[in-house]
Structure 1
């Protein structure tokens, strides 16, 4: 491919601006080769157009999936959720909160009271106008005593929610929360009509760019463009079809043969081959996503930190990064805060593979004769079974025995994750430290998948949430990462880039690293080129 062709491709994909295109072409002495028609064609290709069908092949779909926003777990239903629904706040591609159903917000100086002004004349798919009543109902859906919502932990600081007319909401918090707008952008907290309950969640009534037409959990969903969508410049496709295709090879073949035009989690072993295929674009986006191996610390022998430390030390992270991710990622350090997060602690020593030290800790725990079951399925992430087998081999040098238990892909998230004592797992990450720690590491959090509890950690979590001094806050989050690294039941071997592939017929702007599939919003943000 010529240098000019490369520049044009980058411009078509909105990866460089018109000015950057001209500057780089000039520096390379290529301006004479650029005809107005050629540049005009590239500009037209990067301009959103209406029409066409987006067909996606996604991982993780399960027959146990639900469209209840409180229980979203798989890429399939998380993405579908944002096709058909909106939040008060959207997290953009720079991991910053921007207005969505809320047109603005403001806080008191202590960040304890937040006032959100809602957009007016926004309609649900059933024709009902959205008001503050719907917002309060939707948020309270996750706050109930019996709630199993993954967002429940984020909302525990809310003391009261008040209405100030039909289009203003006031949140009163028990303590300051500098990140509160980020919380309102969490994918669970989409706004639905007041009174929605039970089977009604599966109807998918929302305010989103698409109207749900059919929904087969773990199989297929079909949605059509909302003719009354309120958001300018979004929702371009006539139809969006979302398919659960758990097997990586099946997803890849579906893309190659044109059965789908977008796939997540490209097989990294063969990504170099996919890159060579005409008509296919491969993107690799760095974000907050990471792979984990959680252990239930309230079960023996994982209640002993010597066991946990030994298992952390027998993981050769560099080999996993090289073999499983093919270099598309960064080394993990046994905490969930990614290098792109604001308060990432880059001063912590990188944990390394150390069989001798691992053996020392395991012997100290008296568990050298124990065989550890590591439960795995590629539903956790592409290559999860291979990664588990690699860890099994790595442990042998320390004299530690691991039995890899291969689980079915279907139902993995409901039958294995948070149920089996040690397993493979994937986290999309969160845009802030408070959100990530609150949902997966705080004491009593619904998705604390190790049942870990640490007094100092939980004290720091509350203090950092309310701290408005940036330097003090960074110090607190740095200490929390160190506590996780040295005590928690979570092994974090690597942060992965989100490697996905699509037809070159699809157009898009800057891709978000917030979550997979362009922050789970590719249905709303992308378009079909003419």
Structure 2
């Protein structure tokens, strides 16, 4: 027996969809009304009273690092273009309630061990091939492949069976109940099963999305043109989208101020004040905490195998200074990974490690150290370099001398996945903005089974697995979230610094820009005002 949920014609109620997310389990917790996604103009043009959207025009998007095809199925800073070419099964709204995309409705079995998806008909890939249930089956199996390095592979792996009921109805059978299936559905891009190897080389991206990739010039640009056969009638409005790779911060800012670029999410914090003062630009922060800057620690490198030393590092960092001086004041200084929109967030967790150099030195002395010399890897991008330099200064004040090791984003992501990081590194992580258990079963820095820090704990695994599979709701499941937080804070194998949503800079004549919860750019409704 099954429970039925929203039809394509009706948006699901908040209560209904929370139940739909896991056979009665809580998807993301209640009390999220303050959580919103930024939109250029805050809402659609019709709601905001702006001019009626017009068709045509090209938008230039400034990015600071190039597309990396080999990371197509892993969420990273190179994922921005995913939603231009590919659709997902569902998408979250501002309250993190799943809404239809290629899946128009769904219903869970009472025991939470299967879910039936009604799939959108009349959808075609860019080459004209119809979208069917076989494409969803391929997408799931593709993410189950370890070679794809997909962060949500564990969740995809819970799907153990497929029952097609025609071309547009599919039953997914689950090994056990999980409460983050809709995180998978928003993360999982639906790619063409016949050309996936070409996609991984960047030679052919064949999706069902609003734009077609027409040219990739490695290190320089990506060009997209409108998909005139897109399933959403009348969309997209734009004729074309150009991604321009501009790694230098000053050049990126200049391209915005001179109108050469109309959109970016990659202005370094130190440059945001300049951009904000520019009359033709708008700065908007996504306050759902889709990312966080952190200090990673390799727990197999002595003396970082000592928890006391790791805790000393956590106390040494001045998070508020990093937020204000390095990130332009956008974000939330926090020792825990959770944004305020998450049911796992607590103020006690956020402030657990106050900036206390004296305590940091005391902890180091108690562990038998007065001076340490360690490497610190960071991305060779202006914003990331600034964070690394701030960490270098703070750690030096307590006797920890770090040598900066810059590297490019693609290499860093591959090393992160393969656990090849040095003693210390600083990067940003995602996955705390959705179902809390997703962070600890999916994100490479936190994965309970295999994380970049090489930290393992039977207790951590038990708590994470219980939270991931629990049918509990409300206070009961939040108790498990607190246990996860307590372990993360006490063990300090990942030291969170600042929770930060994406900061969007747009030209004032560009409207309708959104991101999904995994920072895939959605330009379905974007348009340039006359």
Deviation at 1:414, TM superposition (A): 3.5
Distance 1:438-1:48 versus aligned 2 partners, 3 A rule = farther
Verify: 1:141 aligned to 2:169, yes or no. Answer: no
SS of the equivalent of 2:343 reads: coil
> Match of 1:502?
506
> Match of 1:7?
none
Distance 1:367-1:160 versus aligned 2 partners, 3 A rule = farther
Distance in 2 (CA, whole Å) between partners of 1:281 and 1:274 is 8
Distance 1:131-1:156 versus aligned 2 partners, 3 A rule = same
What RMSD, in angstroms, separates the aligned Cα atoms of the two structures? Answer: 2.6
CA displacement 1:456-490 (0-9 Å, x = unmatched): 22212222223232221111011101111111411
Aligned counterparts, 1:197-276, within 5 A? 197-201=196-200, 202=202, 203-232=204-233, 234-276=235-277
Aligned counterparts, 1:173-212, within 5 A? 173-186=174-187, 189-201=188-200, 202=202, 203-212=204-213
Distance in 2 (CA, whole Å) between partners of 1:147 and 1:18 is 40
> Match of 1:433?
436
Give the conservation status (yes or no) of the 8 Å contact 2:352–2:489.
no
> Match of 1:132?
133
Deviation at 1:323, TM superposition (A): 1.1
> Match of 1:482?
486
SS of the equivalent of 1:368 reads: coil
More deviation in 435-444 or 82-91? 435-444
SS of the equivalent of 1:111 reads: coil
Question: Which of the two has higher C-alpha Rg?
Answer: 1
Distance 1:15-1:165 versus aligned 2 partners, 3 A rule = closer
Deviation at 1:164, TM superposition (A): 2.2
Distance 1:416-1:175 versus aligned 2 partners, 3 A rule = closer
CA displacement 1:375-422 (0-9 Å, x = unmatched): 22343xx53222222222222332222222334567443357842321
- TM-score, reference length from structure 2: 0.84
Distance 1:318-1:198 versus aligned 2 partners, 3 A rule = same
> Match of 1:51?
56
Distance in 1 (CA, whole Å) between partners of 2:96 and 2:282 is 24
> Match of 2:318?
316
Distance in 2 (CA, whole Å) between partners of 1:266 and 1:99 is 32
Give the conservation status (yes or no) of the 8 Å contact 1:55–1:242.
yes
Aligned counterpart for 1:358 among listed residues 357, 360, 375: 360
Distance in 2 (CA, whole Å) between partners of 1:311 and 1:425 is 16
Deviation at 1:338, TM superposition (A): 1.5
Distance in 2 (CA, whole Å) between partners of 1:459 and 1:424 is 28
Deviation at 1:72, TM superposition (A): 4.9
SS of the equivalent of 1:424 reads: strand
Aligned counterparts, 1:337-356, within 5 A? 337-348=338-349, 349-356=351-358
Distance in 1 (CA, whole Å) between partners of 2:312 and 2:428 is 21
Distance in 2 (CA, whole Å) between partners of 1:234 and 1:118 is 20
Verify: 1:520 aligned to 2:520, yes or no. Answer: yes
Aligned counterparts, 1:12-411, within 5 A? 13-14=41-42, 43-45=49-51, 47-61=52-66, 65-66=68-69, 69-75=72-78, 78-186=79-187, 189-201=188-200, 202=202, 203-232=204-233, 234-288=235-289, 289-333=291-335, 335-348=336-349, 349-379=351-381, 382-408=382-408, 411=411
Deviation at 1:16, TM superposition (A): 9.8
Distance 1:506-1:313 versus aligned 2 partners, 3 A rule = same
Give the conservation status (yes or no) of the 8 Å contact 1:11–1:43.
no
Moved over 6 A (4+): 16-19
SS of the equivalent of 1:137 reads: helix
Deviation at 1:15, TM superposition (A): 5.2
Extract unaligned runs of 5+ from structure 2: 1-37
More deviation in 47-56 or 116-125? 47-56
Distance in 2 (CA, whole Å) between partners of 1:17 and 1:212 is 27
Distance in 1 (CA, whole Å) between partners of 2:151 and 2:69 is 13
Give the conservation status (yes or no) of the 8 Å contact 1:375–1:416.
no
> Match of 1:23?
none
Give the conservation status (yes or no) of the 8 Å contact 1:246–1:409.
no
Give the conservation status (yes or no) of the 8 Å contact 2:85–2:212.
yes
SS of the equivalent of 1:177 reads: coil
More deviation in 232-241 or 99-108? 232-241
SS of the equivalent of 2:486 reads: helix
> Match of 1:31?
none
Distance 1:424-1:161 versus aligned 2 partners, 3 A rule = same
More deviation in 136-145 or 79-88? 136-145
